[in-house]
């Protein structure tokens, strides 16, 4: 499965990111209501939680397709995921800085940073082929 990348460390790093995205889809799909209740957010936000679940699913499917077809010619997709990773870190930092009711825990921020670093590593290893 990693042979299409011709770069095993990059493929492993992006494979771990793919597993994280799949995990996020499962978590959002089955615990979105509980998360919203725990955060003190009304049920009106449930469609947004399902929208986030859909976005994580699309990114996971896109990354899986890069393993099937190879990363060649996928620069727009990789750039979108790169921007998403940066945005998730900035969003978590803003939540923590403003002490909002749904502020991320520092552990969650560290998790997002680790996933982003894994993606950055893989992205910069295969960037010449995109």
Query: What is the arithmetic mean of pLDDT over 23-39?
Result: 84
Q: What does the pLDDT read at residue 101?
A: 58
| Residue range 10-22, pLDDT digits in tens | 888 888 988 988 9
Tell me, what's the pLDDT at 1?
59
Higher-confidence residue: 88 or 25? 25
Answer yes or no: are the C-beta atoms of 59 and 81 closer than 8 Å: yes
pLDDT of residue 59: 85
Res. 74 pLDDT band, cuts 50 70 90: confident
Read off the pLDDT band of 104 (50, 70, 90).
low
């Amino acid at each position: 499965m990693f042979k299409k990348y011709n770069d095993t460390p990059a493929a492993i790093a992006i494979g771990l990111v793919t597993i994280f995205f799949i995990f996020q889809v499962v978590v959002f799909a089955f615990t979105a209501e509980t998360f919203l209740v725990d955060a003190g957010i009304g049920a009106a936000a449930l469609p947004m939680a399902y929208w986030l679940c859909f976005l994580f699913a699309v990114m996971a499917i896109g990354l899986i397709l890069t393993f099937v077809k190879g990363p060649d010619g996928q620069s727009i997709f990789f750039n979108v995921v790169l921007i998403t990773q940066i945005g998730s870190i900035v969003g978590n930092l803003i939540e923590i800085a403003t002490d909002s009711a749904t502020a991320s825990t520092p552990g969650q921020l560290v998790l997002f940073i680790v996933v982003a670093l894994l993606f950055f590593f893989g992205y910069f290893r295969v960037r010449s082929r995109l």
